[in-house]
Structure formats: structure tokens, C-alpha cells
Amino acid sequence: MEPTIDPAVIAAAREKLMKKGPAAQLGGAGTARRKQKKVHKPVSVDDKKLMAALKKIGCNPIPGIEEVNMFKTDGKVIHFSNPKVQAAIGANTYAVSGNGEEKQLQELLPGIINQMGMDNLAGLKKLAEQMAAQEGKADDDVPKWLR
């Protein structure tokens, strides 16, 4: 026959064990091994491969460029402030890297006119005509004596 243990003794033992909680065993034999937390460095593998390819074709950095603007056919401009520009003139290759923002042509307007080509000037004329048409509509709302 098995000896019976009083349920009150079992409850007291369990309560005593629960008071110790998870801090009962922090280390030593029988505990799970804590894995080391690995800190991943931001490795830019693609950038390294790109730089190696540019170096192969002979790209050299061009210092002193403050901004780069690329004009799109829909009238928007990709604008780079303080970009890193590299060029291989023999291979007709130019690389522009940095944070590019897509902006409307109107946002960059007085300072960008000298960078525009003939095809972009036609777009600028269209823009000016649209703005003049909008102003003409706005003038209709203003009484003649106020003009």
C-alpha cells in the first residue's frame, strides 16, 4: 500500500515553489542555453556589387555637384540633392546615387529653367498656357470695377 500525503502539504509545497517563480534557476546544469543575440549590420551587398561593376568600366567620382534633375515625359522631375555622381565618359555611363524625390516641375521652377532642353521648354509653354487659362477663368469672377 502506498503512503498517502496530506493534500494541504502538497498545496503548501506548490505555493512555496510558485513563490520562487521563474527565478528558481537562472543557470547551471539543466537550464536551457541562452543563444547570443546577433546584431546584423546593414550590409549593402547590392551597393558593393554596383560599385565594383562601375569600377571595372572605369567610373570616376565627379566632385562638386550640388543637384541633379532628371526630367520625365509626364512633366515630373526626379530631383537629387547633393548626390554622389560617377562617370565613365568612354563607356557613356553616368551613375547618380542618393535620395531622389519625385517633384512637379512647378515646384522647382525659377531655378531649373537653365537646365531645360528644347523638348522640356515646349512642356513649359503648355504649363504657362494652362496657368494663363486658369487665371483667365479667375478674372471672370472678379468684377470689372475691381480690376
Note the pLDDT tens digit of each residue in 26-48.
667 777 776 777 777 766 677 78
Convert the pLDDT of each residue in 117-144 to its tens digit: 666 666 667 777 777 777 665 555 555 5
- The cell for 106 is 512647378
Contact (Cβ atoms closer than 8 angstroms) between residue 91 and residue 57: yes
Distance CA 36, CA 40 (A): 12
Distance CA 43, CA 52 (A): 15
Give me the residue label for grid cell 512647378.
Answer: 106
Contact (Cβ atoms closer than 8 angstroms) between residue 60 and residue 88: yes
- The cell for 71 is 526630367
Reduced to 3 states, what is the DSSP secondary structure of residue 12?
Answer: helix
Q: Mean pLDDT lowest for which of 93-102, 108-117, 136-145?
A: 136-145
Distance CA 128, CA 21 (A): 76
Fill in the DSSP letter of residue 21.
Answer: G
- The cell for 91 is 563607356
Handedness of CA 109, 107, 86, 119 (dihedral sign): negative
Q: Mean pLDDT lowest for which of 2-6, 41-45, 99-103?
A: 41-45
**Partners of residue 87 on adjacent β-strands:** 60, 94
Length of the chain: 147
Distance CA 24, CA 17 (A): 8
